[in-house]
């Protein structure tokens, strides 16, 4: 859970991460001006690095196939479009591969039922957080088309002292 706390600390302090509401543990990370795009891209890479290096089980829901696309590492397929990101993944290469967006990343302690790994789109953030708490999902990053914005959901139970 330490990696989840590090992600939460980072998004809480980063200027381009906007909390959706004061009591929410959901942030929107978006390049709001052309001058800040490079900074936001660097922040996304940093968050991805914290996720990969801070968690044993990272589940990626994505229509692309990392093995067919030649992304390095020992990828484990859970089901069609569901992968466990290898802990040895090169962050720069992984980020470049994910740049098109339309993917969802989940950090978990253990692998639950495959049916859990379908991020509900168009659902209120509070519903997503409730689902995360009930399925023990530590965090979720939902990337939109063109990889901007990212919605970052942090399970409040995962960062409670």
Render each residue's pLDDT in the chain as its tens digit; 161 residues. 678 899 998 888 887 788 887 767 888 888 665 566 678 888 899 999 999 988 878 999 999 999 999 999 999 998 889 999 998 899 999 999 998 899 999 998 877 666 666 555 567 777 888 888 888 889 999 998 888 889 999 988 888 75
Sheet bearing 76-79, strands edge to edge: 17-19, 26-29, 150-154, 137-143, 103-108, 57-61, 82-84, 76-79
| First vs last C-alpha separation in the chain | 11
pTM: 0.88
As given in the structure block, the two tokens for residue 26 are 């959901």
């Amino acid at each position: 859970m330490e990696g989840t706390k590090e992600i939460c600390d980072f998004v809480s302090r980063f200027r381009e991460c906007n909390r959706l509401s004061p009591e929410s543990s959901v942030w929107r990370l978006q390049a709001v001006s052309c001058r800040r795009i490079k900074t936001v891209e660097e922040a996304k890479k940093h968050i991805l690095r914290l996720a990969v290096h801070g968690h044993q089980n990272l589940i990626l829901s994505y229509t692309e196939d990392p093995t067919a696309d030649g992304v390095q590492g020992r990828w484990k397929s859970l089901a069609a479009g569901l992968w466990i990101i290898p802990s040895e993944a090169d962050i720069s290469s992984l980020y470049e591969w994910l740049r098109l967006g339309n993917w969802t990343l989940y950090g978990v302690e253990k692998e639950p039922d495959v049916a859990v790994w379908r991020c509900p789109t168009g659902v209120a953030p509070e519903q997503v957080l409730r689902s995360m708490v009930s399925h023990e999902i530590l965090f979720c990053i939902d990337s939109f088309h063109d990889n901007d914005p990212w919605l970052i959901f942090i399970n409040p139970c995962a960062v409670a002292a």
